[in-house]
């Protein structure tokens, strides 16, 4: 009789123990109560910064939240885990980024992030100083490629509005480059041919006379270029090139072209009397006359040829200003 009573009691005890263990497993371990972080983003004057991006980041890679402030600059992060270090980063257009130190909340703590003051971003400007001579070298290299219809040298025209001045070495280099160009030789020969047809100077109208005219042409041309475009510009610190205007009214451009043989540019960029151009024309006329027959000599002829040379410069400048740039492919780049 005793065994029959004991067995049901033991069975009931075992059921109670199992149920108690199951309930105990289902009761979760209590976690620390999360906290809240608030703050206001201001600039150096104390004004609120709207549209600032506030990022809250924990130690774990995925524990990141962000907030964009409105007109008041206010932000708020709820349910922030307690006991974990967080950092706040604030960024806004036109301001340098702001970073906080580690913030670790106690359970249920209400934390106010203070002293969030954004400073205006410092602009970083990199200035590369290039020597004027180096700029002139690059510009001169481009000028040596300038050819009318891709053939005739057009080296003595500047299309850069702020061209760097040439050194004396560059002036001589440009003059020699023009003198040794095959098209320059051909031009001298063509000029001598016109003189042959016109019977000027009064040499014989035969091959010998053509050779004499060709020699006089070379002497005059070489003297003009060396003296007017290299020697005098170096001594007087003047630029031998024609500076293309290209803008403004037609009358202003025409005035610029017509005055160029008389008013040039100094190496300092200022307008000056063009002694180099005028001196080159005069020296060329005087030296070429020494090769002429006696009947083609005299001060009148010297100054007459000087006037012709200056007139040719005027015509050339007008053509440069209104026509030849369109015919110079490299000048369009």
For the chain, give every domain's residue range: 35-118, 132-332
Longest dimension (CA), the chain: 170
Q: What is the reported pLDDT for 283? A: 93
CB distance 326 to 246 below 8 Å: no
pLDDT digits (tens, 9 = 90+) for 270-324: 999 999 999 999 999 898 878 778 777 888 888 988 999 899 999 999 999 999 9
Report which of 101, 97, 92, 85 is spatially closest to residue 70, judged by C-alpha positions: 92
Q: What is the reported pLDDT for 333? A: 55
Say which DSSP state 201 is in: S
- Percentage of the chain modeled with pLDDT above 70: 90
How far is residue 18's CA from residue 150's CA, in Å, rounded to a whole number? 104
pLDDT digits (tens, 9 = 90+) for 221-280: 999 999 999 999 999 999 999 999 999 999 999 999 999 999 999 999 999 999 999 999
Q: Which phi and psi (to 5°) does residue 287 adopt?
A: -75, -40
- 35 strand-pairing partners: 80
User: Over the chain, what is the mean pLDDT?
Assistant: 87
pLDDT digits (tens, 9 = 90+) for 92-124: 999 999 999 999 999 999 999 988 999 998 777
Distance from the Cα of residue 300 to its chain's centroid = 53
Is pLDDT at 21 greater than 50 in this prediction?
no
How far is residue 164's CA from residue 110's CA, in Å, rounded to a whole number? 67
Angle (CA) 213-216-217 rounded to 5° is 85
How far is residue 70's CA from residue 53's CA, in Å, rounded to a whole number? 10
How far is residue 147's CA from residue 329's CA, in Å, rounded to a whole number? 7
CB distance 313 to 242 below 8 Å: no
CATH T-level assignment (fold) for domain 35-118: Immunoglobulin-like (2.60.40)
């Amino acid at each position: 009789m005793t065994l029959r009573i004991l067995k049901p009691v033991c069975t009931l005890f075992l059921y109670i123990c199992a149920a108690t263990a199951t309930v105990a497993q289902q009761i979760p371990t209590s976690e620390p109560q999360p906290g809240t972080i608030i703050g206001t983003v201001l600039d150096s004057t104390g004004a609120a910064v709207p549209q600032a991006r506030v990022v809250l980041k924990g130690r774990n890679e995925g524990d990141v939240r962000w907030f964009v402030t409105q007109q008041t600059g206010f932000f708020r992060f709820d349910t922030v885990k307690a006991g974990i270090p967080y950092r706040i980063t604030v960024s806004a257009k036109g301001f340098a980024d702001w970073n906080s130190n580690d913030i670790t909340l106690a359970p249920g703590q209400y934390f106010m992030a203070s002293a969030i003051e954004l400073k205006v971003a410092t602009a970083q400007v990199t200035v590369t100083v290039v020597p004027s001579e180096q700029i002139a070298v690059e510009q001169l290299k481009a000028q040596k490629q300038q050819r009318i219809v891709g053939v005739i040298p057009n080296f003595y025209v500047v299309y850069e509005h702020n061209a760097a001045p040439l050194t004396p070495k560059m002036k001589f280099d440009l003059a020699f480059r023009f003198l040794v160009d095959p098209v320059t030789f051909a031009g001298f020969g063509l000029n001598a041919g016109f003189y042959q047809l016109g019977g000027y100077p009064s040499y014989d109208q035969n091959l010998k006379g053509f050779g004499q005219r060709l020699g006089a042409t070379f002497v005059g041309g070489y003297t003009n270029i060396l003296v007017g475009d290299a020697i005098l510009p170096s001594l007087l610190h003047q630029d031998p090139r024609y500076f293309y205007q290209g803008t403004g009214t037609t009358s202003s451009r025409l005035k610029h072209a017509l005055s160029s043989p008389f008013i040039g540019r100094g190496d300092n960029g200022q307008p000056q009397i063009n002694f180099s151009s005028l001196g080159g024309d005069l020296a060329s006329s005087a030296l070429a006359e020494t090769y002429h027959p006696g009947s083609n000599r005299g001060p009148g002829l010297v100054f007459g040829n000087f006037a012709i040379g200056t007139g040719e410069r005027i015509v050339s400048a007008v053509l440069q200003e209104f026509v030849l740039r369109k015919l110079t492919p490299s000048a369009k780049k």
